Amino acid sequence: MRLHIALEDDLVAELDRRVGSRRRSAFISELIRRGLDDERRWDDIEASIGQIRYEGHEWDQDPAAWVRSQRQGDQRRVG
């Protein structure tokens, strides 16, 4: 699909120096893809705010002991 966008001359000049005039579309497409992916991740983060309760966790009494027990149960752990 074609899309018409307007960019400042200095921005286009820098874009051409970096990727060349024949790779503009691919470069811009990749940047938009990355930006949208970041936006989706932020949406997920913001949607999860407040979803974990503040108390009643296994680790509340002794976080260090809980971490040690988790590490001991990790079969990938060496030594």
Residues 15-55 have pLDDT tens digits of 999 999 999 999 999 999 999 999 999 999 999 998 877 77
At residue 36's C-alpha, the angle toward residues 35 and 38, to 5°, is: 65
CA distance linking residue 61 with residue 69, whole number of Å: 13
Tell me how far apart the alpha carbons of residues 72 and 78 are, in angstroms, rounded to a whole number: 10
Distance CA 38, CA 14 (A): 24
Q: pTM, whole model, 2 decimals?
A: 0.62
Handedness of CA 42, 43, 46, 52 (dihedral sign): negative
